[in-house]
Chains A and B, each alone.
Chain A
Amino acid sequence: MAGGSRCDNLDDGELLRQYRATKDKKWLGALLERHTLLLLGVAMKYLKDKTQSEDAVQQVFLKIISNFPDTEIQNFKGWIYILMRNHCLTQLRDQGKVILTDKIEDIGEVADEPVDLGLNNYTSVQLAHALNELNEEQRKVIILFYLKNLSYEKIMQETGSSFQQVKSYIQNGKRNLKNILQKINSGNGKNE
């Protein structure tokens, strides 16, 4: 893409500013190129079809290139992700493949990041107590991922779960564990 290594050193906000200032599409191209894999992955997650996903990404490219909004975009990555996701959901709805209970426009932006559970801050008794509060699947997967440091692949082999299931067990187990540990912490605070 035009711009090359010069663009690599600029963050999304700076590329966006350059594009708005010059109206040169090379800046927009550099931004889109940077997030192509994100668009492809999101499209694939929702559409589950290689050809449809590639087409959807190209349609989103075209939409952005031909009709870039004048409104300020604080977080380009979040914005482009929502755009891609909504495009896929609209496509699925048009194909009658999904019934949405919420309006597509109402789906908010999510910006979660990996959090450190701070497991080292708890005694083994506290940890064991918290883990016992989780359901069987979540407990098993959380132990394998966080305490035994196994990869998703190995957890899938050990538990016979799918990739999606392992993800869900880790995601939900982590959230539940965090809540339980916070309760334990607040309980200790009251006792002191």
Chain B
Amino acid sequence: MEANKNGMPKNKSNSPDEARILAYLNGELSEGDRREVEEWIATDSPESDMLMGLKELGAAQTRKSNKRLKKSLTRMIGSGRRRSKTVGVDHVTIYIIVILLALIAVAYFVILKYMPGR
């Protein structure tokens, strides 16, 4: 991936990527990179709306919320993937349940037979 002066990755459309946005919010960009990001703010584009919103949220909160949302996304994707996998191993679960029920039934009859007073 192409890198800018700070060694941060640039995406193909040259719109600011996540690293640059976070660095901008933290005031850590070089003058040239800061200017590039600010040129995006003065456009009618998704990037402009995003930067306006994140500016309002602030650097620290943006980092926190971004992290939290990505964790939540991983959970959502993970649970979806796990659900689709369990379809293939369902019969194993059924065997286990049948064996457990059989063991419980045997235990019940053993207790019934050897219980004093019966």
Chain A residues with CB under 8 Å of chain B are 1-2, 8-9, 11, 24-26, 28-29, 32-34, 36-46, 48, 50, 53-54, 57-58, 61-62, 65, 77-78, 81, 85, 110-114, 145, 149, 151-152, 163-164, 167, 170-171, 174
CA distance A189 to B47 in the complex (A): 36
CB–CB B57/A1 < 8 A? no
A112 contacts across to B, CB distance below 8 A: 43-45, 48
Residues A41 and B51 in contact, CB atoms below 8 Å apart: yes
How many interface residues does chain B have, given as a range? Answer: 35 or more
**Interfacial residues, chain B to chain A (CB-CB below 8 A):** 1, 12-13, 15, 18, 21-22, 31, 34-36, 38-57, 61-62, 65-66, 68-70, 72-74, 76-77, 80-81
Assess the A164–B65 pair: CB atoms within 8 A. no
Chain A interface main SS type: helix
What is the bound-complex CA distance between A42 and B49, given in angstroms?
5
Question: Given that A8-B1, A54-B68 are known contacts, is A41 also in contact with B42, CB under 8 Å in the complex?
Answer: no
Q: Which residue of B lies closest to A168 (CB)?
A: B42
Q: Could you pull out 7 A-B pairs where Cβ atoms are within 8 angstroms? A: A2-B81, A41-B49, A50-B57, A61-B76, A114-B42, A171-B42, A171-B43
Extra 20 A-B pairs, beta carbons < 8 Å, given A33-B70, A113-B13, A151-B35: A1-B70, A9-B1, A24-B81, A36-B69, A37-B66, A38-B50, A39-B69, A41-B52, A41-B57, A42-B53, A45-B56, A77-B46, A112-B45, A114-B36, A114-B42, A145-B42, A167-B42, A167-B52, A170-B41, A174-B42
